[in-house]
Amino acid sequence: MTPQTPPDPETALDSIQEVLEAAVDSDDTARDLSAQASEGLRGLLEGLGGGEIAGLLHEFLTFEIFTLGETPVTPMLIALVGFMVILTWWISGVLQRWVERVFKSRGVTDMGTTAVVKRLLHYAIMAVGLGIALDTLGVSLGALFAAGAIFAVGIGFAMQNIAQNFVSGLILLVERAIKPGDVVEVEGRVVRILKMGIRTTIARTRDDEEIIIPNASLVQSAVKNFTLDDPLYRVRVDVGVAYESDMRAVRKALIDATEGLDWRVTDRAPVIILSDFGASSVDWQVSLWTNNAWISPRQASELREAVWWALKENDITIAFPQLDVHFDPPVQEGFSHLKAAG
């Protein structure tokens, strides 16, 4: 074998750089790309004095494992595609952190907005990166999309619910009617949204139970969002007093009961309503505004206690159901005979 003069390491590095530039600026095939990269790496090793190792490494990297279409798949090509995927994932993470810093610097404190933008950015970058990686591997994206369309039609009915949830997840991410951190009511249950995925949404109940909600349920059913535009939420309490009570004193006592609650929104006055004339009581409703709908049951309990003590301090009777039974005279006379006979 005729000995070869090892190339200079700087020349080999320039060769590798030319290969990487060609991957971006030209239409070289995957075969040429992997071959040129392996030649550049071989030249670099030979320049550093590792001739035999360089030869073995070159044979290993250029070994054809199988052929995908017209592209020979080699270890070098697999490593190159893997590097592209890892690089895409790294770029996505860097850009997501950059978006988060930009939002903070501009005063955007809504974590739901930041999470949605980061998720959409991640999907877009990964789609581009995976497309480039598949094209480098020799997979025709046009043929892949065509096959995917045929495959989707074939299993469309079997995967109808999954596809429905997937599309619903995209709608939720774009519309932002529901965001992480929102307090919503779904199917009669109040939950806080923790994480929104492409197929399901994870939420937590007031009992600290985590539930998985299909995205289609959030899109197709009526959902009450307590924090959509603002966090204001009304806490209501009903109470009934005896008919003999002084209604002016009742109203004043109820207003006084609301003054000592520090959680109420002070720029909105309490609303005191005489709601109904019940069978056994005069019914009143007391309502306040709070900025935290999540703990509204505890706040309603505190309001009931305040109402109780305010009425007690003013000697106002809290009514309870009563039933008066009146007998007609013949019936009363019959009871009298029974009593005399007994």
Burial class (CB in 10 A: 0-12, 13-18, 19+), 61: buried
For 202-213, write each residue's pLDDT tens digit.
999 999 999 999
Determine the pLDDT at residue 341. 63
Query: Residue 81: what pLDDT?
Result: 82
Q: How would you classify residue 176: left for phi > 0, otherwise alpha for psi between -120 and 50, otherwise beta?
A: left
Residue 260: inside a domain, yes or no? yes
User: In the prediction, which pLDDT does 182 show?
Assistant: 92
**Tens of pLDDT, residues 109-138:** 666 667 777 877 888 888 888 888 777 777
| pLDDT at residue 7 greater than cutoff 50 | no
Give the pLDDT band (50/70/90) at residue 73.
confident
> Sorting pLDDT into bands at 50, 70 and 90, what band is 24?
very low
Q: Are residues 293 and 238 in the same domain?
A: yes
Say what the pLDDT of residue 34 is: 55
Q: Is the pLDDT of residue 43 over 80?
A: no
In a domain, 134, yes or no: yes
Spell out the SS3 assignment of 285-310.
EEEEEECCHHHHHHHHHHHHHHHHHH
- Shared domain for 175 and 214, answered yes or no, is yes
Tokens representing 264 are 């109420």
pTM over 0.85, yes/no:
no
pLDDT of residue 274: 95
245 and 280 in a common domain: yes
pLDDT at 169: 81
pLDDT-above-90 percentage for the chain? 32
| Helix ranges, 26-159 (H) | 30-47, 51-61, 75-105, 111-136, 141-155
Residue 245 falls inside a structural domain:
yes
Domain that holds residue 278: 233-313
Q: How many domains does the chain have?
A: 4
- Residue 281 near residue 241, CB atoms below 8 Å: yes
Q: Does residue 322 fall inside a structural domain?
A: no
Encode pLDDT of 281-312 as tens digits.
999 999 999 999 999 999 999 999 999 999 99
- Determine, yes or no, domain membership for 244: yes
- On whether residue 201 sits in a domain, the answer given is yes
Per-residue model confidence as pLDDT tens digits over 256-283: 999 889 999 989 999 999 999 988 899 9
Residue 70 lies in a domain: no
- Domain boundary among the residues 155, 175, 194 is at 155
Q: What is the pLDDT of residue 26?
A: 39
Nearest of 177, 163, 173 to residue 216 by alpha carbon: 163
Query: Would residue 340 count as lying in a domain?
Result: no
- Indicate if the alpha-carbon torsion angle 143, 146, 150, 155 is positive or negative: positive
